[in-house]
Every structure is written in C-alpha cells, then in structure tokens.
Chain A
Amino acid sequence: METSTSRVLTQEMIAEIQEMYKHFPVKSAACIEALKLVQKHYRWVSDQAVQELAEVLEMSADEIDGVATFYNLIFRKPVGRHVIMICDSVSCWVMGYEKIADYLKKKLGIQFGETTPDGRFTLLPICCLGTCDRAPAMFIDEDLHRDLKVEQLDEILERYP
C-alpha cells in the first residue's frame, strides 16, 4: 500500500462522513456514501483513500475495496476531467445508440473504458438511464443529454473543455 503522509480525507470530509452514519445503526452502513464523497472531491478513489476510510468507518480496507469494486459508479482508477456515460440498454439500442457511441469513439480516439491522452474525457457504456422515451441518451458529468443525434455531438462536447 502507499505510504504517503499527506492525508486524502480532510477534517471537513471526516465530519461529513460522521454526519452520514448518524442515520444508520452502524458506521459501516455509510460506506457507499463515504466512497461517493471521496470521489466527488478527487473524481476517483485511491488505495490511500480506502485505507483512511477503513479507519473512519471501522472496517478493514479489503472490506471497503470489496464494496467499492462492486458498484460500477465508484471509480478505482483515475478518470478524465469529464466522464461520458452512454446508455447501451435496450431502448437506446433500438433507437440507434451504436451510431452515437461509434462517432464518439472515433472522434475521441478511444474505446469504452479509456481516457483521452489529454485527460479530458473518459468514455463508458452505462445501463438504462430511465429516460427511454427520449432515447438515445447519455450523461456527461452531471448533465443528461437526450434525443441524441450524431450531428449534435461536436457542439455538445465543446461545452466540456
């Protein structure tokens, strides 16, 4: 494990995690919320963060890692400044999401699961986004883009420098 002396969790973050587990009978129940909090600050969850969370939540680091690797929206590897998540589920498939995905892969020069060399975008496939009447759909960071057409994609990407 890393031996860095600089702490990943700030006092403010620890206080926020303590606030989270107040709602539950045991501290470990706040594990997923705490992982998301770390990710909100750093965009991903490092080994060091897992170690520090283990102390705060009174769990073993392995236990936390078991949880972190189960959930697809906890990133255990660094991601780009912007994460594109394109829905590959059935309604978006019927409505032609593959054209959207192929265009993005070609334009960005990366495959699913990869990050552009300049660290700007990570491209991921994602399960149904619950907006099937406006398929195809994708998230970029916190923004939902729907009724996608290939012609719009250049303009949409420009909004994420």
Chain B
Amino acid sequence: MERPLTEHIPLDGSWLRLKDYERVGGYQGLREALKLTPKEVIDRVKDAGLRGRGGAGFATGLKWSLVPTVDQIPQPRYLIANGDEMEPGTFKDRLLLEGNPHQLIEGMIIASYAIQADYSYVFLRWGYQFAEKALQEAIHEAYQAGYLGKNILGSGFSHELSVHISAGRYICGEETALINALEGKRANPRTKPPFPVVSGFFGRPTVVNNIETLSNVPHILSKGVSWYKSLSKCEDGGTKLYGVSGKVKKPGLWELPLGTSFREILEEYAGGMLDGYQFRGALPGGGSTDFITAEHIDVAMDYNSVPKVGSRMGTGTVIVLDDKTCVVGMVLNLEHFFAQESCGWCTPCREGLPWTEKLLLAIEEGRGRMEDLKIFDDLTRYMAPGHTFCALAPGAMEPLQSALKHFREDFERHIHEHRCPWK
C-alpha cells in the first residue's frame, strides 16, 4: 500500500529536511508544473479527483478554476493554506506540518502557480510550536534553494510565502473568517457572494485550501493522474489521513486509501475497543459530523459514501462513543464548545447554541422535560444551512440531531429518571 504523504516522515520525531526531501523526489512536482500552463496544472488536479481534505470535500481543481484570470483581475492574488485545525477530535494536519513541511510548501507553490498568486500564507493554529519551527526553517531552505522568491527555477514565476500564527478561536477555520483574521481583524465570517476566489484577502482573488489538500498536490504533478487515482478505493483520488480517538486499544493516525471501510480503520488500525468497552457509535469526521452507529460500520470512508448513512466524511478523524460514556454528556460537551466558539456575528448561532447547551445541561442534570426534545428539532431548523453566515451552527447541530435519531432512549431515560443513568 502506498503512503505518499507520510512515508518519508522521519520516525524519530524530526522533520524531512530539504536535501532528504529532494532525494525522494521532492520539488519534482513543481518542476513538472512549471513546464505546463496554469490551466494545464488546474486540469491535472481536476482530473486527479482531489477533493478538499478540510471537511467540506469541495473539488480542489474546480475551486482553482473559479479564480478569474490575470487578464481579468491582475496581481496581487493570494493563496492561503488553512492550518487552523481546530475541529474537536482532529489531529491530522499536525503530522504533515511537523514531519514534512516541504511537501506543503511545494504544494503551495504549485497551487499558487496554477492560480497565478504572487503571495501565499500558512495560517497556522496556535499551540503547534514544533510545526511552526519546522515550517519556518523549511521556508528558509526553500528560499535559499530558489524554490521561493524571484523567477523560480528560471520559469519567470515569482512567489513569496510567509506564516501567520493564530491567537485562537475555532471560527478562524472558516475560510472567510480566516481571511478576516489574517487581515488583523475579528474573525467574523463574511457574506458570500462574493466568494474569496473573486474577492478575498484585502479584496483580491484568494484561494483557501487545507494543509492535507495542498500536501497531495506535488504527488499528482510528479507521478501523474492515473497513478493518483489508483491510490484510492473510490471514484475520488488519493489517500486520506484517518484518525481514531476515544476508548480504543490503539488511538492514532494512518494514511490509507481513500474509501477504506470504517470497520477496517476501527478494528485493524485502531485495534478495536478497549477491553470492557462496547462500540455504540462514532462521529466519523470530527465534532461537527453526525453520529453513525454499529449498523453503519461497513461504510466506506469517502465523500460520497458517508452521506449515504446520514453523516459526512468531515476531516476523517473518528471520535468513538462507547457504552460506558453518556451520549447526552458527550453532546453537551460538543454544544458547550460550539456555543463558546460562536463568533456572535449572526443571531441564530449566537442565541441558538447557548440555548441548546442550556437545555442539554438541564437534561444531563435531571431537570429536562420531554418538550425540550421538540425544541431541539426547532433549533435545528432555525440553525439549518442558509439561515446563518457560515457552517458553524449547522455543523454544531449535526451531532445533536443524529444523537436524537439514534440514541433517543438515552435522552428519554435522563428525563424520566431525573438523573444521568451513567453517573
């Protein structure tokens, strides 16, 4: 099984230096890209079937193709690598940033060439100090070697790259909020349209791509579209970083073919449940995805299959619910997070999420009423997609509405017994 994104990451906790990265084919993707026109690069990424690894799964090549041409809107134009990674339960981009920063930098230069961006930023979450250090040193190496700066490899294409370290808040991962944060403002989301591809960072054309997404790009260029498609078990291309946390034997992170089954990830890679614990369900792709249950365990973890069982791929990092953990308590924890992290910009989210949290707290503490469950349905509708500026509130309601669907008896027991049966 091929693991192009992670196979060269040193096992001793250090990162892959430039000379070692070049020895295993590093920057060959960039050399290939610079022989092509920007449009040809976009077409290759489109044909490869690369979909955004940040959660939404939008087709990367398609996103790039929506950027107006330089004739329509000249430079400055921007690319931003979204390394905010604040989704609860998600720890995948950390590995790529800490272990193979040149792969990301190369992907960023290729993406920038494709959209003719003259400047790019890595928007990095706080608390990833090792990633920051590796990235800063790798950027320095890339400048020294002529992969960044003026007239890259004699191609006539010039590009500058720098890093911004965030000062916290989950909302910064939302692409328009991220752009506001990078502009030095409060990270409130922006109205769309206009979309960032037309009017983003300081009103200029801007593409925001996830770290894992961009780390795929060099391999598509250097090894080709058909090779890339062959990595996957589904119609979309490539591998995926899958992670598992919770009461399993071997929590961890693995690069596997896109479309690997949930069962294989849980049982073979995560080693199954800890002794004495039963699997009850899981959030398949971070805190803002719907629960799946034991009946869905054979689902293929890819963008088109997970929705068929009522959830989303999200970030591909699984959080497991066991039989000794209270699902109401788990959802309360999540809604506390989302209520706290709401930026307060739009009313349904600012008011609806604290309301949701209060009702859940009442149920968990044995003060709940059956009518509260009806209010959750209303709140889910008020905060549905299209009623809010961004996806925070709709995402926040995914674990709750799915818990009500799959584990309704747990909520009812809390209400009828006036206590948490797990305590």
Contacts of B164 in A (CB 8 A): 32-33
Would you list which residues of chain A between 44 and 94 have a CB under 8 Å from chain B?
57, 66-67, 70-74, 88-91, 93-94
Interface centre among A36, A130, A142 (most CB of B within 10 A): A130
Q: Are B127 and A35 in contact, with the CB atoms below 8 A?
A: no
Q: Are B317 and A132 in contact, with the CB atoms below 8 A?
A: yes
Point out the residue from A26, A72, A90, A94 that lies within 8 Å of B202, measured CB to CB: A26
CA distance A67 to B182 in the complex (A): 12
Q: Are A70 and B169 in contact, with the CB atoms below 8 A?
A: yes
Q: Is B86 an interface residue (CB 8 A)?
A: yes
Contacts of B166 in A (CB 8 A): 32, 71
Partner-B contacts on A (CB < 8 A): 23-26, 28-33, 35-36, 57, 66-67, 70-74, 88-91, 93-95, 127-135, 139, 142, 144
CA distance A89 to B253 in the complex (A): 18
Task: Tell me the nearest residue of chain A to B334, going by C-beta.
Answer: A90
Q: Are A36 and B333 in contact, with the CB atoms below 8 A?
A: no
Q: How many A-B residue pairs have CB under 8 A?
A: 133
Contacts of A133 in B (CB 8 A): 91, 243-245, 251-253
B136 to chain A, nearest CB (A): 13
A-B contact pairs, 11 of them (CB 8 A): A28-B184, A70-B343, A71-B168, A71-B169, A88-B336, A93-B329, A94-B246, A128-B90, A131-B94, A133-B243, A133-B251
Given contacts A89-B287, A94-B246, contact A142 B333 (CB under 8 A): no
CA distance A35 to B166 in the complex (A): 11
B68 to chain A, nearest CB (A): 19
B44 to chain A, nearest CB (A): 30
Q: Are A90 and B333 in contact, with the CB atoms below 8 A?
A: yes
Given contacts A25-B202, A130-B125, contact A94 B167 (CB under 8 A): no
Contacts of B413 in A (CB 8 A): none
Task: Tell me the nearest residue of chain A to B337, going by C-beta.
Answer: A89
CA distance A128 to B202 in the complex (A): 30
Would you list which residues of chain B between 327 and 341 have a CB under 8 Å from chain A?
329-330, 333-334, 336-337, 340-341
Q: Are A94 and B91 in contact, with the CB atoms below 8 A?
A: no
Given contacts A67-B186, A71-B169, contact A130 B251 (CB under 8 A): no
Would you list which residues of chain B between 79 and 120 have a CB under 8 Å from chain A?
85-91, 93-94
Contacts of B322 in A (CB 8 A): 94
Q: Are A89 and B89 in contact, with the CB atoms below 8 A?
A: yes
Q: Are A67 and B287 in contact, with the CB atoms below 8 A?
A: no
Q: Is B181 an interface residue (CB 8 A)?
A: yes
Interface centre among B167, B202, B251, B325 (most CB of A within 10 A): B167
Given contacts A127-B170, A130-B128, contact A94 B90 (CB under 8 A): no
CA distance A23 to B87 in the complex (A): 28
B86 to chain A, nearest CB (A): 6
Would you list which residues of chain B between 150 and 185 have a CB under 8 Å from chain A?
162, 164-170, 181-185
CA distance A152 to B74 in the complex (A): 58
Point out the residue from A25, A30, A132 that lies within 8 Å of B91, measured CB to CB: A132
Q: Is B247 an interface residue (CB 8 A)?
A: yes
Would you list which residues of chain B between 278 and 305 have a CB under 8 Å from chain A?
283, 287
Q: Are B187 and A130 in contact, with the CB atoms below 8 A?
A: no
Contacts of B325 in A (CB 8 A): 94
Contacts of B5 in A (CB 8 A): none
Q: Are A30 and B187 in contact, with the CB atoms below 8 A?
A: no
Point out the residue from B76, B168, B186 that lies within 8 Å of A127, measured CB to CB: B168
Given contacts A25-B76, A90-B337, A94-B246, contact A30 B88 (CB under 8 A): no
Apart from A29-B183, A133-B244: 9 A-B pairs, beta carbons within 8 A? A23-B162, A30-B184, A67-B186, A72-B168, A72-B169, A127-B170, A128-B87, A128-B89, A130-B94
Task: Tell me the nearest residue of chain A to B161, going by C-beta.
Answer: A23
Contacts of A129 in B (CB 8 A): 127
Given contacts A28-B184, A91-B246, contact A132 B319 (CB under 8 A): yes
Q: Are A88 and B94 in contact, with the CB atoms below 8 A?
A: no
Contacts of B341 in A (CB 8 A): 127
Would you list which residues of chain B between 223 and 262 have a CB under 8 Å from chain A?
243-247, 251-253
Contacts of B355 in A (CB 8 A): none
Q: Are B167 and A130 in contact, with the CB atoms below 8 A?
A: no
Contacts of A30 in B (CB 8 A): 184
Q: Are A71 and B167 in contact, with the CB atoms below 8 A?
A: yes
Contacts of A132 in B (CB 8 A): 88-91, 243, 245, 251, 317, 319
